[in-house]
């Protein structure tokens, strides 16, 4: 009897459950958990991130024309503007990234790590970004010309052959941006867009035009000599009729990739009005594209 009362106050023990699969254990995100994170912006962007190459590229440019017009000087009143070097780097990276709006770029400078890294704590507003974008056409034209010249000097590209390709963009009255100051030896253009007078002019200036003739309405041989053909046109028909001429003209397909790249960067519609602003918009794409080509060609040359 005494043994029965000895453990009467103890709670009953649950029987052990048979072995099996218990509840799933997971690590769930808890975004309201307070924590401290101490890190420099520079530590958050990888050493091999392409934005670093863009910044290094801009640091090596001569931007004295942009700095000379700044009114804020030491010892004088006035709010200091953002560095032209920073503004240029932001718009080049935005162009590569397919960002075409100053308001969108302004938001990214606050919310996106890579743009915050470029800003390095410098505050932005879309008015300043928008104004800078369209205010320096002469600087962009100089950077475009100098960029091409530097690649030629480095042996990365040659100006012996020039290919021209059109790109339809949703805007009217846009003039083509021409490269000036040199004449190529070979000029590859769209078929059917070259007139005989232009071919004769090119021939007289030592330029070979590579352009397939348009098909005739009567189904005659477009390569056959015609009455009234000048020396340049006759030479052009003979050149394009040959297998070597047709093979050389196919090189133009490689240059169509430039327009495809521009579309990937967002060149589908020009939101800026007027020919001058549209030209500036296209210059940003040209400078950004050539910068990326320089990176790729330079890396390839270094690896060779």
Q: What is the 3-state secondary structure (H, E, C) of the chain?
A: CHHHHHCCCCCCCCCCCCCCCCCCCCCCCCCCCCCCCCCCHHHHCCCCCHHHHHHHHHHCCCCHHHHHCCCCCCCCCCCCCCCHHHHHHHHHHHHHCCCCCHHHHHHHHHHCHHHHHHHCCCCCCHHHHHHHHHCCHHHHHHHHHHHHHHHHHCCCCCCCEEECCCCCCECCCCCCCCCCCCCCCEEECCCCCCCHHHHHHHHHCCCEEECCCCCCCCCCCCCCCCCCCCHHHHHHHHHHHCHHHHHHHCCHHHHHHHHHHHHHCCCCECCCCCHHHHHHHHHHHHHHHHHHHHHHHHHHHHHC
- The pLDDT assigned to 282 comes to 86
Tell whether the torsion through CA atoms of 186, 191, 196 and 197 is positive or negative.
negative
pLDDT at residue 4, rounded to an integer: 59
Taking alpha carbons only, the member of 243, 251, 234 closest to residue 162 is 251
- Is residue 144 exposed (0-12), middle (13-18) or buried (19+ Cβ within 10 Å)? buried
Per-residue pLDDT of the chain in tens (304 residues, 90 and over written 9):
555 566 666 666 666 656 666 777 777 877 788 777 788 889 999 999 999 999 999 999 999 999 988 888 888 877 888 999 999 999 999 999 989 889 999 999 999 999 999 999 999 999 999 999 999 999 999 999 999 899 988 889 888 877 776 655 554 333 333 444 567 888 888 776 678 888 899 899 898 888 888 777 777 888 888 888 899 999 998 998 999 988 888 887 777 677 777 777 777 666 667 788 888 888 998 999 999 999 998 999 888 7
Phi, psi dihedral angles at 170 (to 5 degrees): -75, 80
Residues pairing with 209 in the sheet: 187
> Are 81 and 54 contacting, i.e. CB atoms less than 8 angstroms apart?
no
Residue 31 near residue 38, CB atoms below 8 Å: no
Quick one: pLDDT at residue 158?
Answer: 83
The model carries a pTM of 0.73
Q: What is the C-alpha to C-alpha distance for residues 232 and 200, in angstroms, rounded to an integer?
A: 5
């Amino acid at each position: 009897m005494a043994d029965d009362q000895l453990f009467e106050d103890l709670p009953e023990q649950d029987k052990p459950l048979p072995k099996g699969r218990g509840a799933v254990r997971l690590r769930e995100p808890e975004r309201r958990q307070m924590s401290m994170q101490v890190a420099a912006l520079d530590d958050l962007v990888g050493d091999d991130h392409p934005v670093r190459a863009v910044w290094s590229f801009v640091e090596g440019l001569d931007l004295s024309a942009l700095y000379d017009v700044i009114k804020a000087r030491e010892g004088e009143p006035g709010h200091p503007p953002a560095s032209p070097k920073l503004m240029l780097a932001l718009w080049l990276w935005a162009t590569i990234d397919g960002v075409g709006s100053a308001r969108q770029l302004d938001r990214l400078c606050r919310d996106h790590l890579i743009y915050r890294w470029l800003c390095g704590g410098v505050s932005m507003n879309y008015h300043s970004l928008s104004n800078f974008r369209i205010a320096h056409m002469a600087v962009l034209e100089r950077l475009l010309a100098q960029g091409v010249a530097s690649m030629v000097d480095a042996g990365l590209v040659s100006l012996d052959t020039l290919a021209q390709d059109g790109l339809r963009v949703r805007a009217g009255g846009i003039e083509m941006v021409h490269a000036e100051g040199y004449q190529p030896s070979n000029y590859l253009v769209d078929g059917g867009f070259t007139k005989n007078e232009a071919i004769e002019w090119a021939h007289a200036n030592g330029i070979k035009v590579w352009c397939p003739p348009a098909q005739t309405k009567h189904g005659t041989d477009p390569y056959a000599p015609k009455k009234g053909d000048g020396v340049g046109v006759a030479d052009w028909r003979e050149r394009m009729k040959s297998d070597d001429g047709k093979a050389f003209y196919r090189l133009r397909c490689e240059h169509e990739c430039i327009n495809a790249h521009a579309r990937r960067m967002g060149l589908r519609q020009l939101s800026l009005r007027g020919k001058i602003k549209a030209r500036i918009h296209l210059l940003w794409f040209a400078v950004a594209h050539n910068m990326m080509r320089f990176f790729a060609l330079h890396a390839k040359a270094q690896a060779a």
